[in-house]
Structure formats: C-alpha cells, structure tokens
C-alpha cells in the first residue's frame, strides 16, 4: 500500500466515522425535548446575579459543571438526557457551563448540544488549558474552540495551575484580541492554596475557580477575602463537597426557615450557603440529570441566607 493509498483509506474511514457520529447525534437529539429559552418556568422571577468584579457584567449565580456528566457517547442513554439538562439550566435563567479537556468528551458534547439548538442558547462558556508547553497549550485551546463550536470562549482558565507561567501570556494576548473574554486559574485542593494565593497576589485575574462546600470551608480564611480584595470573581467547584454531604443530610428535616428562603431541598440549601458569601460569584454543580439541574438552579432564587442561617447549616452538617 502506497502512502497515497493509506491517506485515501484513512480519509474515507474518517469521513465514514464522522457521518456515523452525526447520525447518532441526530438520533440522540431527536429523542429529547429541546425547549426554547422563552419557555421560562420561573413564575416571572429571575435568577439572582452577581457582578464580575473586573467588568461589572452580571453573571447568573448557578451554572453547570460538565465533569463526568457530559463525558458520554451520543449512542448512550445518558447522552439523551443532556438536552434536558441544558433546557433546565437556561429555563431557570442560568448560563455558565464549565468544561475542560481533562473531562474526556465533555467539551465535544457541550458543543454538539449547543449548536444543535436553534436559536442557540445564550451560554457563558468556560473551559481550561491543561497541559505543559506554550505550543501544546495553544494547540489544546484551539481544539477547545473547535469542540465547543464557537468563535469566542467567555472564560479560559489554567487548570490546576499547570504550567501557568507559560500559558498566561497567551491568555492575555487572546483576551486583547477578543478570542476570550476573561482569564482565570483553578484548583481543587488545600495543598495548593499557598500557590493560588501567590498567583492572585502577583497577577491580575478575572476569575478563580476553587473548591468550596458546606463541609469544605478552608477557602473562607484566606482565599475568599483575597479575591474580594483583588477584585476576582469566584466560581465554586465541588459545591457538594466530596459526595458525603448530601448523604449525611438527606434524612434530617430541613430547617424551619427553609421555605422563607425558597429552598425545598438540602441541595438547594447547600448551594445557598455558598451563594451567601459575598466573594462567591457562581456555583457550578455537575449533573447529567435534568431534574437535578432544575433543582440546583432553584438555589439561585429567593432571599440570600443570613449569618445565623449559615451558622445553623454548619452545625447541621457537622
């Protein structure tokens, strides 16, 4: 087989795989209900927003994380649930969708579903660069643009600070060019907090994505106050902690005041606890379940918790 023959055969196989994937995707979407954003089920209320400090742009306070939930094949039953997840997010007034090359197929799934919906949903797209080396970082970010099927990414983050000094100049240049709107850094473990603090003190940032939950509050001591001081928006990942939080709370009765803050579940109270902190801009609980997405988004409505209510939740979760 000649080199030319090999190229031709590879090209045919690639095209065939692309056609098969497209047919599978069309079938998956056809089996789901894609509701237009105008079909709002919020009783006329709007999701709470908080201003991004560097721009004053209002950002809806509950978004969506795509880790695991969106890393699924178009041929899977789980994939067919995902249009409903996006419908639930946008119907409730949310917009933030966070992904990463680290999350397997999540970026591609997000791009497929958003592009299939017409008119296209008004997503605030956030993703990450997660590799070493300048050229490798550029190649990975270019791939994210293609997978997400977009000409502009709202927020590009350096995932877990991996090779951040190398990537940051590229992010700043792309922000100046308008390819990305905001830049940020992320992490998820207390062992990295000293490095996170150092970067935030040394470099102007639009966003920090960090772990914060009712049972994981270390960031309250130094990280969140520093973000307020430096004018950095905060996105909370892992907002339900390591997974045991809701399991510990599920059999306990909700506080008597839960209805007063328009909360009907422990998941909503756990998210409202985070949103009550003045440094927090947005929470991004991950899910592939439309019902859970609607429930999570409900935390973005109603009164903000007061200090006494937050303290009671800390005691109940202990």
Confidence (pLDDT) at 117 = 87
Whose structure tokens read 């927003």? 49
- Global pTM? 0.86
Confidence (pLDDT) at 121 = 87
- 164 is written with which tokens? 């951040």
Confidence (pLDDT) at 6 = 35
Three-state SS annotation for 108-140: HHHHHHHHHCCCCCCCEEEEEECCCCHHHHHHH
CA distances from 1 to 4, 15, 17, 264, 288 (A): 8, 20, 22, 66, 45
Rounded distance, CA 206 to CA 59, Å? 13
Confidence (pLDDT) at 43 = 65
Rounded distance, CA 60 to CA 94, Å? 5
pLDDT digits (tens, 9 = 90+) for 171-216: 999 999 999 999 999 999 999 999 999 999 999 999 999 999 999 9
Average pLDDT, the chain: 89
CATH domain 57-317 topology: TIM Barrel (3.20.20)
Q: Which residues does the chain have with pLDDT short of 50?
A: 1-40
Confidence (pLDDT) at 244 = 87
């Amino acid at each position: 087989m000649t080199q030319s023959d090999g190229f031709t055969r590879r090209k045919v196989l690639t095209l065939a795989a692309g056609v098969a994937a497209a047919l599978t995707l069309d079938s998956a979407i056809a089996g789901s209900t894609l509701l237009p954003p105008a079909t709002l089920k919020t009783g006329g209320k709007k999701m709470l927003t908080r201003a991004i400090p560097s721009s004053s742009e209002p950002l809806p306070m509950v978004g969506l994380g795509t880790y695991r939930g969106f890393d699924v094949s178009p041929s899977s039953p789980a994939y067919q649930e995902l249009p409903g997840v996006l419908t639930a997010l946008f119907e409730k007034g949310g917009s933030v969708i966070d992904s990463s090359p680290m999350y397997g197929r999540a970026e591609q799934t997000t791009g497929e579903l958003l592009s299939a919906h017409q008119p296209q949903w008004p997503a605030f797209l956030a993703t990450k660069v997660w590799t070493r080396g300048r050229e490798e970082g550029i190649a990975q970010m270019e791939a994210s643009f293609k997978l997400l099927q977009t000409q502009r990414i709202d927020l590009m983050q350096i995932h877990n600070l991996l090779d951040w000094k190398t990537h940051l100049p590229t992010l700043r240049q792309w922000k100046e060019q308008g390819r990305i709107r905001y830049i940020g850094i992320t992490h998820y473990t207390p062992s990295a907090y000293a490095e996170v603090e150092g970067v935030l003190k040394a470099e102007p940032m639009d966003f920090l994505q960090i772990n914060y939950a009712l049972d994981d509050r270390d960031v309250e001591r130094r990280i969140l106050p520093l973000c307020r001081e430096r004018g950095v928006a905060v996105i909370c990942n892992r907002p339900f902690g390591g997974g045991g939080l809701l399991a510990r709370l599920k059999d306990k009765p909700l506080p008597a005041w839960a209805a007063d803050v328009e909360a009907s579940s422990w998941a909503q109270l756990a998210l409202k606890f985070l949103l009550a902190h003045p440094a927090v801009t947005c929470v991004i609980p991950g899910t592939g379940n439309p019902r859970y997405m609607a429930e999570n988004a409900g935390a973005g409505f109603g009164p903000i918790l007061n200090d006494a209510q937050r303290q009671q939740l800390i005691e109940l979760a202990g």
